[in-house]
Structure 1
């Protein structure tokens, strides 16, 4: 019997579940508290706060979590290819994460973040700031809500897999 510590199936499953859960938690916190909270700010304060948060979150630990969740989810599916039920469960978690979190982030949220990041908020007029916020806020929040839901679903599929691992 393989040791729990050296079993690739178990290690990748635990890391996939951990990283996906961490990201789902970060996304949930943003959806539940951060974006509603800063949404109450005046336009320039809102834009400045969002700029700073977007700049701050781009760090090695965040990248480890967002890329690690994807990598370890696909690795988990691969290592469970001999078990049809678990393979499809883990592959589903990986694919929906890839499409609904990773691609959505790259194709939706990142371009909005870049649009905001390149704006000089010290020289922008209030009228232009209001236009920028109008282009940014609702669309970013909608995309973020979608990726939050998808991250939670992916996390739940991995948890179900953890519970079924020794039963199917």
Structure 2
């Protein structure tokens, strides 16, 4: 593989999408199921701290990078076969709709609700209601993110094989 702009852009897209889908899978498979076993205060406190910690430059690159790199790759490969363009467009669209938009309009409002709550002064009943309001909805939105990020990643792997086949 030559170190061309096209190849670097594609590799970065695949790597960041893979990291994003791995992050989503890990949260679904271990993090949310693990903290789901905690009592209400433990669960809400742990989730509150994780939400505050994850908002960092590395996360933003891994999370938003695939969307922007999808646009770049669609442009870069605009003269490639129609199947490559189609796969890149579908992968980028699925990622944008199922990961980015679901996060912005689904998970973030729930995270903000949790973040603004003073858990230390909340009553046992308030904690129970907050968890009931938060947990199931958040996990449903996250399930969508997990599935769509994995599908997007798999489509990108297919596009790599198509690009390799067309250049070989």
CA apart distance, 1:8: 2.0
Range with greater deviation from structure 2 (75-84 or 122-131): 75-84
Following superposition, which runs of at least 4 residues in structure 1 exceed 2 angstroms of deviation?
none
Q: Distance in 1 between matches of 2:139 and 2:38?
A: 15
Range with greater deviation from structure 2 (83-92 or 110-119): 83-92
Q: Distance in 2 between matches of 1:72 and 1:10?
A: 12
1:33-112 correspondence to structure 2 within 5 Å: 33-83=30-80, 84-112=82-110
Does 2:20 correspond to 1:23?
yes
Q: Which residue of 116, 125, 128 corresponds with 1:127?
A: 125
Q: Distance in 1 between matches of 2:100 and 2:109?
A: 13
RMSD, matched Cα: 0.9
Specify the alignment match of 2:150 in structure 1. Answer: 152
TM (norm. structure 2) is 0.96
Q: Which residue of 113, 116, 131 corresponds with 1:115?
A: 113
Q: Distance in 2 between matches of 1:46 and 1:163?
A: 43
Structure 1 residue runs of 5 or longer lacking an equivalent are none
Q: Distance in 2 between matches of 1:104 and 1:123?
A: 31
Structure 2 residue runs of 5 or longer lacking an equivalent are none
Structure 1, residues 9-55: CA drift from partner, whole Å, max 9, x if none?
A: 21111000000000100000000000010000000000000000000
TM (norm. structure 1) is 0.96
CA apart distance, 1:61: 0.3
Q: Distance in 2 between matches of 1:116 and 1:73?
A: 32
Q: Which has the higher helix share?
A: 2
